[in-house]
Structure formats: C-alpha cells, structure tokens
Amino acid sequence: MDKEDFGTPRFRRNAFWLSAVIVGLCAVVAASKLKEEVPTDRIASVQRLVEQFEAVALFGEYGADRKLSHVEKWTKPIRVSFEEGTLPQHREMVRNQSDQLSRLTDIKIEILISPEKSAGVVFRFPKRTEMRAVLAEYERDKKMLDRLMVEGICVAITWSDPDSGELLEGVSVIPHDIELDYLKECVLEEFTQLYGVHNDSELIHPSVFANEDTQNHQLTLNDKIIVRTLYDERISPGMKRAEALAMARIVITELVAKVKAEGESALYQR
C-alpha cells in the first residue's frame, strides 16, 4: 500500500528551546487550564488524567485537523528497523524503551538487526544539518518543513488507515549530534508518541508530554497510565472521540484504583 492511501500523516516534535509562541501550540484543551505539578511517584486526579488523555491522544500537533475525530493506535506487532549506519548506542537507546512500551500496550515489538522495507517503524539519526533533507522525504509542503525546522529538534511521523484508525507505519527522525540527555529524551518521547499519543501537553508535570520537562529518560507513573489507557482493549482504533473519552474515564478510574492497591505492576499487560 502506498503512503498516499494511509491518510494524513501526524507530525509531532520534541523541542527544548521553545519560545512563548511555540508553547502556545499545546492542545486546545490545555490552553485554559493550569498545569498540575505531580511527583513522579504520585498519581494525578482522575479528572486531570482524563484531560491529559484527551490532550495527547485526541489532538495532533500540526495541521488544520489537530482535533482528531477518532482514536489511532497499533493493533499488530511492531517491527522496528534502523537506517543503515545507525550507531550501536542509538539502537540500544531504542531497545531500552521497547520492553516497557510493549508491556504497557500488549503490542509485541521486534527489533530488527538490519534495515528492512517491511518494518513498521524506522528510526533515523542524521546530523542536525541533514534534518531538513531527511524530513523532505516524508513532507513535501515547504511551509510545513519550515515550521518543523523552526519549532523542534526531533520529529515523529505516523501513517494510519483513515477508516479504521489503525496505525500502519511510523518514522522517528532524531539528530544524533545533540546533547546526550536531549538525545535520550528524544528517543523516549518520539517512541512513545509513535504509539498514538500524538500531542504535547502541559497539564501534568513532570511528563514526557510536557515541553518544559527537558530531561525525562523514563515515563512517569502518570505517563504510563495514559499509554496503558489508550491500549485498553475497550478503547479500539477508530472509536469516536466522545465514546473514547467516556471509556477512558472508566479505564483510568479502574487503573488508578489498581495502582493504589497493587502498585505500578498493575499497569503492565505482559
């Protein structure tokens, strides 16, 4: 299937030097709410978690259709490949995040040794000076390219079936010549967002989805609840926005109770 048949690609960016204008691009639902500071080992309120779910899973970061009408998520195992020449340490950064994401989502991840065209997700680690040329392979609109180059350091793109909402392919483009802490943060955020949590949000801090938090190397407890909620079997790809939000509230309420009773292990599906 050609990518033209997959529907509109979703773009996301990871930016560590945001101006006030760019911060204003956070999800519409977050614009009128104050951020909530929550320790990494503490759970936010159910209401705030539902708002966070809406902000990151039902909004995209770019384009006129930022307010998504339905859920997008993977349903099949993900085969992860790397561009030829990717350094071992960059492969290891991706591998280090894959196990936790697989356990949260119940989506099997296969890390491929050599580049394969059949891979569902590809990681590319060019030089910063090569970013525009690499992104131009996926985005032809000059204005969008200009925006991506101005607003962010790292970019993730997904393609989904416009009818079913199933995610089909993804690519993450991360410059390898940035500070190590930023590089690790990029890998974590972009890999996580490739799962269908498309947008950034300032509703909860710290969080991998918050642009002000620049050196997150692991998902916080609240981040894990959001990802796990999206991959609950009761929330299906293509589920309409209102129905998904209603179900998310039920799922989040249950997960919060389980985590409080059993600990973080209650979030893992594998």
Q: Can you give the pLDDT of all 270 residues of the chain as single tens digits?
A: 455 555 445 544 443 222 111 222 222 233 335 555 555 568 999 999 999 999 999 987 655 456 889 999 999 999 999 999 999 999 999 999 999 999 999 999 999 988 877 889 999 999 999 999 999 999 888 988 888 888 778 999 999 999 999 999 999 999 999 999 999 999 999 999 999 999 989 999 889 998 765 567 899 999 999 999 999 999 999 999 999 999 999 999 999 999 999 999 999 998
Q: Is residue 270 part of a domain?
A: no
Question: In this structure, is residue 151 part of a structural domain?
Answer: yes
- DSSP H helices, 174-270, are 180-193, 221-230, 241-262
CATH number for the domain harbouring residue 244: 3.40.390.10
Q: How confident is the model over 160-203, as pLDDT tens digits?
A: 999 999 999 999 999 999 999 999 999 999 999 999 999 989 99
Using an 8 Å Cβ cutoff, are 35 and 202 in contact? yes
Would residue 142 count as lying in a domain? yes
Is 118 inside a domain boundary? yes
3-state DSSP assignment of residue 154: strand
Which structural domain, as residue segments, surrounds residue 134? 3-262
What integer pLDDT is reported at residue 63 of this predicted model?
A: 53
Residue 269 located in a structural domain: no
Q: Is residue 267 part of a domain?
A: no
Q: Which two tokens stand for residue 257?
A: 């109770």
Number of domains comprising the chain: 1
> 245 near 68, Cβ under 8 Å?
no
**How many other C-beta atoms lie within 10 A of the C-beta of residue 177?**
11
Does some domain include residue 82?
yes
